[in-house]
Structure 1
């Protein structure tokens, strides 16, 4: 028999993005392809936490795709429905910096976990 228990990953998220995820309006999470995310796969659970708080939101991973041009591949409205493409590029660059670009970028399609309170 195979184990069908989903893996749970904890990741920090800024408040403004957390609120969009918790509302179900942000369906794509953008991450640098750090080594600890290389095996992230559909079916996994991400527990987003606002750093320094106990506030969490669980989402199920639907798909993980690697991109060079992330926003154009996924569409800016899916990554952050409250910001323009140019604002999102500026935000991504300020969070990750240009040195992280060499690691690659992940688009993680998510949906709120059915087990949310």
Structure 2
């Protein structure tokens, strides 16, 4: 394999890596998950500032939330050490793909 072919291979690999990275960052929150998270947030007496500022944005990019890349479904809520207070909302049951709650 010559130098030219090596550079072409490197270019293709970089392009594929960037495409994968770009697609994984463009998750779109599932509408029922977004509604469940809004219900959860509405019952809190202390608010998550990052959620309040982004309440109309894609919840897959909110602090403490992890979404499944192919589906955009919320699979993790990591909210420890956030000093949250309020009522635990029944709306969390709407996160039917949730695998971890911390």
**TM-score w.r.t. structure 2 length?**
0.31
Which has a greater percent of helix? Answer: 2
Higher Rg of the two aligned structures: 2
TM-score of the superposed pair, with normalisation by structure 1: 0.28
